[in-house]
Amino acid sequence: MKFSLRTKLTAAFLAVTLILFGLISVFTNYILESQFKDYVIAQQELKNTAIVSTISSRYADWGGKWDVPGLEAIGVSALGEGLMIRVMDQEGKVLWDAMIHNSGMCAAIIQNMGQMMQSRDSNFRGGYVEKIYPVSKGGSTFGTIAIGYYGPYAYSANDIKFLDTLNGFMRLAAVISAVLSLMLGIYMAKQLSGPIKTVTKVSRQIAKGNFEDRIKETSTTTEILELAGTINSLAETLEKQEALRKRLTSDVAHELRTPLATLQSHIEAMLDGVWECDAARLTSCHEETQRLSKIVNSLEQLTRYESENLILDKKHFMVTELIRRMANNFETVLKTKNITLELKGADQDIFADEDKISQILVNLIANAIKYTPEGGAITIETARSALEVSITVSDTGIGISPSDLPNIFERFFRVDQSRTHDTGGSGIGLAIVKSLVLAHHGSIEAESEVGKGSSFRIHLPIES
């Protein structure tokens, strides 16, 4: 059975409140009963002592003689308080006994108190209890008093009424607390579940491809704010990826359309007899098929590099020496465009796939030469930190606009929208560079300013 978050939170608030209040009630009742029992026992002892003191004082008032009518008055008064006294003189002779005076009333008192205590606690065990006290004055003992009562303790009607009233207030407080906790639970559950429902709604829209939806609802809960921010970031990323995907489809179609159209027109012209099927025409067709093969091979290469199964042939080598060799390979092109290439930094040793690092450098240097005008300069600088080696390829070329900079590592993305192959290739080179860098657990970043040049910085771990 499934329940909503609001129902679970409300039930949790209510359950916690009831459990806590129940525990508090149990402990409070236990402590109260214990303390009240001690209080009743102490009060009983005070009553006994008061009767003994009264009889001792009256004995002196009677001139040192026992007055039976006076004892009867005291005994009858004590019966009203549930106490049954028996007074004996110095020789042990019974002067007055409540049991003899009114045995029926004494039995009724014991029975009533027993029923009252049993009605409150069916497990209570009590009965008739009697205590003996000496009657003395000035150090002289002139008799004894036996005081009987229901014990070990007994609550009066007022005591039971007080305890019942107190328990009633506690039950009322429990009901009020339950209602308040239920209201608070509903409110808190609404505050928590409301934003989550909004997140769920937006997530469903994202799943349907509606990436423009955003979570605008605010919350005072940090985790919910983080969740909303994450969903918004996800939507923004997916929206960008969707736009890039559409652009990729268009770019792939554009890249393939030109050579295919050229091939089609050439072949149709030769089939129609407009052109003669000679070596020159066939060579032109062959060049177009080579362009198609190059695009397909680049895509296959990129897919292979982006796969998790890419195997790197890693070894220790001097990356600075590799940079020098790669720079020498471009010596002719550099001289043709009158571009200077400067190497900076000390020799650096890394553990990586030398062939893949060579491919990274070839792509970056070729791009730098391609977009740097005649008389410009290219700088390749290496640096080292505790855990990584960085390689920075900078040029004084045309630069990249801020709007294009975030997309330069995407497939088929080219700053040159004219898409002529004189100024740009297939647009896969930088995507391959990024894939190879990530395969080495490294990172790559680009900085550029239009009209001043660009810098590509690679960070590679020294040991992987």
Tens of pLDDT along 389-442? 999 999 999 999 998 888 888 776 766 544 444 444 556 788 888 988 988 899
Residues 372 and 345 sit within 8 Å (Cβ to Cβ): no
DSSP assignments along 266-294, one per residue: HHHHHHTTSS---HHHHHHHHHHHHHHHH
Residues 374 and 412 sit within 8 Å (Cβ to Cβ): no
5-173 and 310-461 share one fold: no
For the record, the structure tokens of 127 come out as 């009965």
For the record, the structure tokens of 450 come out as 């239009």
Is the model more confident about 374 or about 305?
374
Tens of pLDDT along 181-215? 788 878 877 777 777 778 888 888 888 878 777 77
Residues 84 and 78 sit within 8 Å (Cβ to Cβ): yes
Domain residue spans of the chain? 5-173, 310-461
For the record, the structure tokens of 70 come out as 């006076």
Is the model more confident about 177 or about 364?
364
Residues 389 and 463 sit within 8 Å (Cβ to Cβ): no
Record the pTM: 0.46
Element (H, E) at 336: helix 331-336
pLDDT at residue 387, rounded to an integer: 87
What are the beta bridge partners of residue 144? 88, 134
Buried b or exposed e, range 154-189, using 16+ CB within 10 angstroms: bbeeebeeebeeeeeebeeebeebeeebeeebbebb
Crossing angle of helices 354-370 and 429-439, in 10° steps, is 150
Task: Pick the range with the lowest mean pLDDT from 211-220, 230-239, 286-295.
Answer: 211-220
pLDDT at residue 420, rounded to an integer: 46
pLDDT at residue 15, rounded to an integer: 83
Pairing between β-strand 340-344 and β-strand 377-384 as defined by DSSP bridges = parallel
Please provide the CATH number assigned to the domain covering 5-173: 3.30.450
Buried b or exposed e, range 58-91, using 16+ CB within 10 angstroms: bbeeeeeebbeeebeebbeebbeebbbbbbbeee
pLDDT at residue 221, rounded to an integer: 72
CATH of region 310-461, choose from 3.40.50.800, 3.40.50.150, 3.30.565.10, 3.40.50.2000:
3.30.565.10
Tens of pLDDT along 7-44? 777 788 778 888 887 888 788 778 887 888 888 889 88
Contacts of 387 (CB under 8 A, 6+ apart): 461, 462
> What residue has token string 């004082």?
57
Tens of pLDDT along 126-168? 888 899 999 887 778 889 999 999 888 888 778 888 888 888 8
Pairing between β-strand 349-353 and β-strand 453-461 as defined by DSSP bridges = unpaired
pLDDT at residue 459, rounded to an integer: 94
Residues 95 and 68 sit within 8 Å (Cβ to Cβ): yes
Measured CA to CA, the distance from residue 138 to residue 55 in angstroms comes to 14
Measured CA to CA, the distance from residue 326 to residue 334 in angstroms comes to 12
For the record, the structure tokens of 312 come out as 């790197």
